[in-house]
Amino acid sequence: MRIPDYISTAQTNLSRTKLRTFLTVLAFVIGTFTLGMTTAFSQGLRSYIDTQIEAYGTPNMIMVGLASNNQQSSSSGVPYYQSGRQTAGEGRGGKVTYTMNGQDLSKVKAVANVQGAYPDYGIAVDYIQYNGQQKYTIGAASAYPDITTTLAAGSYPSSSQANGIVLPYPYVEALGFQNASDLIGKTVTVHATNTNTQAGKDYSLVVTGVLPDTAHTPGAAMSYQALNDMAQFEGVKDKFRDITVVTASNPTKAMRSQIASALQGDGYTTQTYDDLLNNFSKPLSIITYGLDGFAGIALLAATIGIVNTLLMAVLERTQEIGLLKALGMRRRGITFVYLVEAMSIGFWGGIVGVGFACLLGLIVNPILTKTLFKGIGHAHILAYPLPYMAAIVGGAMVIGLLAGTLPAIRAGRLDPIDALRRE
């Protein structure tokens, strides 16, 4: 017999006991549907998290701060004065925190493979306004050179654009525009105040890009030149809490780790792109394993169902097996027929289960985006990557194959004379 003949024979045999076959396939449908939904949820959540991380950092960005061991205290618990540093109020646990300064900046720049280091001034912007209309509050950060996160529209300001700004996505609607691309090239007014003199100053900045729609609204990314000028005006240019390090484009994980270790050795704390990924990936992996465990239980029940179905089929078709052997069909041919039947149950259960999962996703995704997950950005909570869905179907066939091995071997070993005599 050829392979197509085996497949055709297997489908015919399964159709003899329609109800029993249906119930066995249904068990596989439940298992693969559950696995498909848990996979879709984990992949959608992973894609969403990746989008969030890309909005705040790239692989060649490392955040640097002062390590807590720099805040040395006397035996009485009162911190010693540290020359050249200013206090920035109390941090966690009531500890006095210190601002970083130019010496820290020079020290960080001197680390190998660091291409640039830029201070986080913590600029206080009063408001942003477009064309004399409504004023809105906004945070301010720097659009560091060589940092290229994914944008909804436009691009980051180039080194020659001293007055460029990248706005968060919610400001598209707030400033009266329909699409992110409509905001590109428009001039907005950003107002800042010197807290010492109470003098105000307007900055006319050109929108060069719009950040992606994310769950948390980040600050606007201004050109480094504009932010530097604003820090000078507000009198905070010589004190800052964090430094952003920029490395070479697409650094290896080993390079990021090497730079982080060098900075930590100099008494600083670091947060690399890998740290961001790990912070989100570990909880997600725990959730995924837990959900997949429930799907595994359903598939285990389906596996037992296949064994039972095929053992019953062997008993019911004992005389038929004996006749086929008497007519010259070999043991491996009999065995292969039952193996194909088992794989067919897994295949149909996988196809139907995954199909239902994908269909549910098409219905549920728009509803979730507009209701329960409204405002978290343009993301599908349920994602169905084709390789993953194909792997579920393939896995169901493999499970069916393994479950059908015992009944298939038993059918192949039947003695033809004893089989023909059995009633």
DSSP-assigned letters across all residues of 357-391: HHHHHHHHHHHHHHTTTTTS-S--SS---HHHHHH
* 68 pLDDT more than 60: no
pLDDT value for 190? 93
In 11-66, DSSP assigns E strands to 61-66
Q: 246 and 117 in contact (C-beta within 8 Å)?
A: yes
pLDDT category of residue 278 using cuts at 50, 70 and 90: confident
Higher pLDDT, 172 or 80: 172
Whether 377 shows a pLDDT value over 60: the answer reads: no
Residue 16: pLDDT over 60? yes
Judged against a pLDDT cut of 70, whether residue 55 lies above it is answered with no
Which of 354 and 416 is assigned the larger pLDDT?
A: 354
pLDDT band at 91 (very low <50, low <70, confident <90, very high): very low
Structure tokens at 383: 């994602």
Whether 327 has a pLDDT exceeding 50, the answer reads yes
Under DSSP, is residue 202 helix (H, G, I), strand (E, B) or coil? strand
Q: Tokens 């618990």: give the residue.
A: 77
Average pLDDT rounded to a whole number, residues 370-380: 62
Residue 88: pLDDT band (50, 70, 90) is low
Is residue 353's pLDDT more than 90?
Answer: yes
The average confidence (pLDDT) of the chain is: 81
> Which letter does DSSP use for residue 78 in this model?
P
pLDDT for 183-192, tens place per residue?
999 999 999 9
212 or 70: whose pLDDT is higher? Answer: 212
Tell me the CA distances in angstroms from 418 to 13, 30, 321, 410, one per residue in order: 22, 39, 10, 13
pLDDT in the model for residue 90 = 47
pLDDT band at residue 393 using 50, 70 and 90 as cut-offs: very high
- Residue 362 class from Cβ within 10 Å (0-12 exposed, 13-18 middle, 19+ buried)? exposed
In this prediction, residues 157-162 reach a mean pLDDT of 82
pLDDT of residue 370: 74
Question: What percent of the chain is modeled with pLDDT above 90?
Answer: 18
**Region of poorest pLDDT, from 83-97, 191-205, 314-328:** 83-97
Average pLDDT over residues 273-299: 77
| Statement: residue 87 has pLDDT above 60 | no
Banded model confidence at residue 148, pLDDT cuts 50, 70, 90:
low
Q: Residues 411-421: pLDDT tens digits?
A: 777 776 666 66
Pairing of strands 268-271, 61-66: antiparallel
Instruction: Give dist(CA 263, CA 112) in Å, integer.
Output: 10
Are the C-beta atoms of residues 214 and 169 closer than 8 Å to each other? yes
Q: How confident is the model at residue 93 (pLDDT cuts 50, 70, 90)?
A: very low
Burial (CB count <10 Å: 0-12, 13-18, 19+), residue 197: exposed
**CA of residue 16 relative to chain centroid, distance:** 46
Region of poorest pLDDT, from 107-111, 211-215, 261-265: 211-215
Q: Is it the case that residue 71 has pLDDT exceeding 60?
A: no
Rounded Cα distance between 20 and 24, Å, is: 6
Could you tell me the CA-to-CA distances from 35 to 19, 140, 406 in Å, in that order? 24, 43, 26
Nearest by Cα to 96 from 74, 117, 118, 63: 74
